[in-house]
Amino acid sequence: MTELDLLIKNVRLVSHDSDTVPTTDIGIKDGKFHRVAPGIEPSLAREVVDGKGLLAFPGVVDAHQHWGIYNPLSDDTATESRACAQGGVTSALTYMRTGQYYMNRGGSYNEVFPLVLEGAQGRSHVDYAFHLAPMQKSHIEEIPELIARFGVTSFKIFMFYGSHGLHGRSADQSSFLMTPPGERYDLAHFEFVMRGVQAAREAYPELAESISLSLHCETAEIMTAYTKLVEEAGTLDGLAAYSASRPPHSEGLAVTIASYLAAETELPNINLLHLSSRKAIDAAMLMAKAFPQVDFRREVTIGHLLANIDTASGVGGKVNPPLRPQADVDALWEHLVAGNVSWVVSDHACCKEETKFGDPASDVFQAKSGFGGTEYLLPGLVGAAPSHGLPLSKVAELTAWAPARRFGLHTKGRIAEGYDADLALVDPSRSWTVDAADSESAQEYTPLQGLEIGARVESTFLRGRAIYADGKVTGDPQGRYLSRPTTR
């Protein structure tokens, strides 16, 4: 009598809460982990897969992506979710806002967000959810309904958008943001967003743990002044120039302001996104001591861990905040190993060559910001972990357990009975060289071009179904929208 839909034999189980990596079998039924134990009888399963002694990681919860920023959302959902599957990512949380890019429209989220859901529906190979950015006053008023009606429990502030251009120079932010006349996207708005999120937490106490606010921490005035200095001096170019134009103390100052406002508004659930420098993460640690009542989470991207201004493959490595010199990369790893980083993400934003590069193509200030990388998140971190002394259990925590818990994905994040059967089988001894041509993403380049990665994702399973195997994405899109919080 069959008891299981799928049995994966002979894997080494990686869990966030154990330093051991035991050999075991994984039994799956109805899309859930049904039994995790050694020696499960193959006759109990309809299908049996040989795990070949590979590492079994919980499916990655990539908590920071940007589907639809430079390409139609429906296109990005189809192509970039394939890159997710290739990299062991089974849940993608993608940022969405009104204004230019994304949906290219302003107005109410009650009108815009159904269009977002429609654009993604039926096209994703992985499960997905959205963070939303309250860009105008009326969006703050909509927060309770966004939670109750759509299951959106995470929100975002872009701290520099009010007076500095997305790609480096100041711009007409009123037309860029598409906000109502007379409204300002400034510190006062950020405060009122925080108050609105906290009011929603109080209105839904049973959901409060899963409701949080994320911040992109850079200071517009500092960046505007330093961009002018860098361009007038003319001594730097490429990624070095861009890093200098958005200096680390711009991050640190923004972190400090955001943290003070969080304490002032009594909003405890704050996520500090993609910290890129020693000054930024040191400021974040200092604020955690200054405001112990705030539950700060600190995020780092795989791009900022694996590349710097000298090793990245050209202007294609332009991103906000910038890639930094190696000294800052070293600082991020120090904090990561010390346990001061909460999770690692990709900040995946597919920007094709025809969109990415300006005229001339070598001018970093003419290029668009952002690049893909979700396909390198898990293998890149697993491959780099041994040389930095990072335990595999910590990799599982950083890529799955911690982001799942913070963002209300209570069915995700670990390989254990009752959880969604999302997992990735990883060969930690199979190294390979990054080549954009091998990626499932629609992006034709990568700043990690030529980088040797010391581990490889061999298979990815979403709710017990193989979505990546033998070097190929398999089957039709079966990803679901995750209305949060999810419950087991």
Collapsing DSSP to helix, strand or coil, 362 comes out as coil
Residues 41, 180, single domain; the answer is: no
Q: Kindly state whether residue 481 falls inside one of the protein's structural domains.
A: no
Q: What is the reported pLDDT for 170?
A: 53
Same domain flag for 197 and 131: yes
Q: Is residue 176 part of a domain?
A: yes
The CB density around residue 199, as the number of other CB atoms within 10 Å, is: 16
Together in a domain, 42 and 181: no
Same domain, 12 and 30: yes
What is the pLDDT, as a whole number, of residue 173? 65
Domains held by the chain: number: 2
φ/ψ of 205, rounded to 5, equals -60, -30
Assign residue 39 the CATH number of its domain: 2.30.40.10
CA distances from 403 to 237, 343, 345, 400 (A): 36, 6, 9, 6
On whether both 130 and 172 belong to a single domain, the answer is: yes
Do 140 and 11 belong to one domain?
no
In a domain, 485, yes or no: no
Which residue's structure tokens are 């949380």? Answer: 93
Tens-digit pLDDT string for the chain (488 aa)? 679 999 999 999 999 999 999 999 999 999 999 999 999 999 999 999 999 999 999 999 999 999 999 999 999 999 999 999 999 999 999 999 999 999 999 999 999 999 999 999 999 999 999 999 999 999 999 999 999 999 999 999 999 887 777 776 655 566 788 999 999 999 999 999 999 999 999 999 999 999 999 999 999 999 999 999 999 999 999 999 999 999 999 999 999 999 999 999 999 999 999 999 999 999 999 999 999 999 999 999 999 999 999 999 899 999 999 999 999 999 999 999 999 999 999 999 999 999 999 999 999 999 999 999 999 999 999 999 999 999 999 999 999 999 999 999 999 999 999 999 999 999 999 999 999 999 999 999 999 999 999 999 999 999 999 999 999 999 999 999 999 999 98
Q: Are residues 26 and 79 in the same domain?
A: no
Do 296 and 171 lie in a common domain? yes
Q: For residues 59 and 44, what is the distance between their CA atoms, to the nearest angstrom?
A: 24
- The pLDDT assigned to 166 comes to 75
158 domain-assigned? yes
pLDDT at 1: 63
The span from the first CA to the last CA of the chain, in angstroms, equals: 26
CATH of residue 149's domain is 3.20.20.140
Q: What is the pTM of this model?
A: 0.97
Smallest Cα–Cα separation from 340: which of 376, 288, 303, 292? 288
Domain check: are 202 and 251 in the same one?
yes
Question: Are 252 and 365 within one domain?
Answer: yes
For 425, what's the count of Cα atoms within 13 Å in the CB-facing half-sphere? Answer: 27
**Statement to judge: residues 439 and 334 lie in one domain:** yes
Range of the domain at 229: 59-409+429-454
Question: What secondary structure, in 3-state letters, does 315-348 show?
Answer: HHHCCCCCCCCHHHHHHHHHHHHHCCCCEEECCE
88 in the same domain as 10: no
pLDDT score recorded for residue 448: 98
